């Protein structure tokens, strides 16, 4: 699968992008615009459309967005598109172009894309409302006026795609946080909505920690009580304000698609540029030194806490402890060729197949063994947050020196600190920076690469 972002509607934005770019380019063939260089116009109009879309957040439409939001985005996008379209004449000195035909082209594109956007918006709403597809299970903590209004929104606005499962009141005598947490886990709840005025500060902290450690989305019904958190974002469900505690950039479909596209291109370059000739050579050297398979395949924890098979070149002699014991300094299990490929990180190159298959990304938190995931999830606060994104071949923690064997509690705590920073602050340029630094570190050699 070329692109996957878990339970989020990851395909919608890329498909919309493709259809809109096709529309923008296809309509040039229907009118006598008299281009001097048609290919130059296609390149110009495609690039400017993409830039405008990013700038205007043209494809950022949420399940709870109103039609008026869509209309406003269409208006903004096409005002700038009109200016850019006619700027082409002066910028590229095109005196023979027909201004009238260009205006007709603009109207065709506006009508075509508006039709596609409104049709897509309507079909998605009907899909969630009638077919019950793309549904998010939710619970509400609180029985305030706003909490009841929110439940009414969930129950009446079926096109939003929320399934209200249960309501818990902190004011009830038998209210216990543990019962809420059990219900959320046992009933596969996706999102938790808390009425802040009804929860004590320690209860709020407990919900925040629970959501972080169990990959649940936590949102708040705002009131005049202070909420101490790093990031808060206002959203509106119908006319009801909702506060989101954490905004994860890679849960935006466009960001996820850009990262996935880069992963595919980069992994193909490595596979056909390096692995195609280095793989057979290493396979020969590994087999000559010790008996056993060329690849070491181990179960690791990936996106959304799912298991996957992680590929590496085998760097150890065959043993029974490699499945659960990390390599340490001067580890007797490591072969001579294994020591070299581990020092240079060449043993990680087969993971580009994982990237191509969609289990991993080029950059992200390093995947841990299943045993370590179970161990650290219980004793390292917010450890599970790292599973909100795909694991990576390299990551921010690795270039900051936190790679390899975990010798002290501070090693895993600092690693998780950098992983969470990456999850919450991802950008395409941050990925590029991490890749460049990884290559530099590999060439210099790293102290903990053993």
- The rounded distance, in Å, linking the Cα atoms of 346 and 340 is 8
> Hey, which of 141-150, 172-181, 350-359 has the most confident mean pLDDT?
350-359
166 has which bridge partners? 139
The set of residues, in sequence order, having a beta carbon less than 8 Å from that of 377 and lying 6+ positions away, is 213, 383, 384
The set of residues, in sequence order, having a beta carbon less than 8 Å from that of 31 and lying 6+ positions away, is 98, 101, 104, 105, 108
How crowded is residue 55: how many other Cβ atoms within 10 Å of its Cβ?
A: 11
- The angle formed by the CA atoms of residues 190, 194 and 198, to the nearest 5 degrees, is 155
Instruction: Give percent of the chain above pLDDT 70.
Output: 88
Q: Judge whether residue 322 has pLDDT over 60.
A: no
Helix (H) or strand (E) holding 441: helix 428-444
Lowest mean pLDDT among 37-51, 87-101, 163-177, 357-371: 87-101
Say how many residues make up the chain. 450
Contact 334, 318 (CB under 8 A): no
What per-residue confidence (pLDDT) applies to 75? Answer: 92
What per-residue confidence (pLDDT) applies to 259? Answer: 93
The arithmetic mean of pLDDT across residues 226-239, rounded, is 58
What per-residue confidence (pLDDT) applies to 10? Answer: 61
- The rounded distance, in Å, linking the Cα atoms of 316 and 141 is 51
Q: Pick from 74, 100, 72, 76: which is nearest to 86 by CA?
A: 100
65: helix, strand or coil = coil
Average pLDDT for the chain: 83
Give how far the C-alpha of residue 121 lies from the chain's centroid of Cα atoms, to the nearest Å: 22
Q: Judge whether residue 245 has pLDDT over 70.
A: no
What per-residue confidence (pLDDT) applies to 324? Answer: 55
> Which domains are assigned to the chain?
8-131 (no CATH), 136-246 (3.40.50), 253-444 (no CATH)
- The rounded distance, in Å, linking the Cα atoms of 350 and 87 is 48
Contact 55, 61 (CB under 8 A): no
- The rounded distance, in Å, linking the Cα atoms of 131 and 276 is 46
- The rounded distance, in Å, linking the Cα atoms of 228 and 157 is 31
What per-residue confidence (pLDDT) applies to 332? Answer: 73
The set of residues, in sequence order, having a beta carbon less than 8 Å from that of 433 and lying 6+ positions away, is none
**From start to end of 74-120, where are the E strands?**
none
- The rounded distance, in Å, linking the Cα atoms of 395 and 59 is 28
Contact 328, 355 (CB under 8 A): no
Q: Judge whether residue 189 has pLDDT over 90.
A: yes
The arithmetic mean of pLDDT across residues 53-81, rounded, is 84
Summarised one tens digit per residue, pLDDT across range 352-379 is: 999 999 999 999 999 988 888 888 887 8
Contacts 24+ apart (CB under 8 A), 370-376: 370/299, 370/300, 370/301, 370/307, 371/324, 372/406, 373/301, 373/305, 376/412, 376/416
């Amino acid at each position: 699968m070329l692109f996957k972002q878990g339970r989020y509607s990851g395909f919608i934005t890329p498909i919309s992008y493709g259809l809109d770019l096709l529309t923008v380019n296809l309509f040039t063939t229907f009118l006598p615009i008299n281009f001097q260089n048609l290919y130059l116009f296609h390149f110009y109009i495609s690039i400017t459309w993409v830039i405008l879309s990013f700038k205007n957040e043209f494809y950022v439409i949420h399940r709870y967005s109103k039609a008026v939001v869509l209309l406003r985005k269409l208006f903004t996008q096409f005002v700038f598109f009109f200016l850019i379209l006619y700027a082409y004449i002066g910028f590229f000195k095109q005196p023979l172009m027909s201004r009238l035909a260009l205006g007709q082209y603009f109207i065709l594109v506006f009508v075509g894309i508006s039709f596609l956007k409104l049709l897509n918006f309507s079909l998605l709403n009907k899909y969630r409302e009638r077919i019950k597809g793309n549904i998010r299970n939710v619970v509400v903590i609180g029985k305030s006026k706003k909490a009841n209004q929110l439940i009414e929104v969930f129950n009446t606005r079926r096109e939003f795609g929320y399934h209200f499962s249960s309501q818990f009141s902190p004011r009830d005598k038998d209210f216990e946080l543990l019962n809420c947490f059990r219900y959320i886990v046992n009933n596969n709840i996706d999102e938790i909505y808390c009425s802040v005025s009804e929860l004590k500060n320690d209860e709020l902290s407990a919900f925040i920690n629970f959501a972080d450690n169990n990959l649940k989305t936590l949102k708040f019904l705002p009131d005049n009580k202070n909420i101490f958190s790093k990031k808060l974002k206002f959203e509106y469900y119908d006319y009801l304000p909702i506060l989101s505690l954490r905004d994860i950039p890679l849960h935006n479909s466009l960001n996820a698609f850009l990262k996935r596209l880069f992963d595919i291109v980069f992994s193909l370059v490595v596979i056909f540029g390096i692995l195609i000739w280095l793989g057979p050579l290493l396979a020969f050297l590994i087999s000559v030194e010790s008996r056993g398979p060329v690849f070491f395949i181990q179960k690791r924890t990936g996106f959304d806490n799912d298991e996957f098979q992680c590929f590496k070149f085998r760097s150890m002699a065959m043993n029974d402890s490699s499945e659960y014991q990390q390599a340490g300094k001067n580890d007797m299990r490591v072969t001579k060729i294994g020591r070299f490929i581990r020092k240079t990180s060449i043993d990680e190159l087969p993971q580009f197949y994982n990237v191509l298959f969609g289990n991993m990304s080029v950059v992200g938190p390093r995947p841990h063994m299943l045993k370590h995931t179970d161990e650290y999830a219980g004793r390292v606060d917010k450890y599970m947050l790292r599973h909100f994104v795909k694991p990576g071949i390299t990551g921010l923690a690795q270039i900051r020196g936190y790679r390899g064997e975990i010798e002290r509690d501070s090693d895993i705590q600092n690693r998780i600190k950098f992983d969470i920073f990456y999850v919450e602050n991802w950008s395409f340029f941050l990925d590029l920076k991490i890749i460049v630094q990884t290559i530099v570190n590999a060439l210099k050699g790293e102290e903990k690469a053993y």
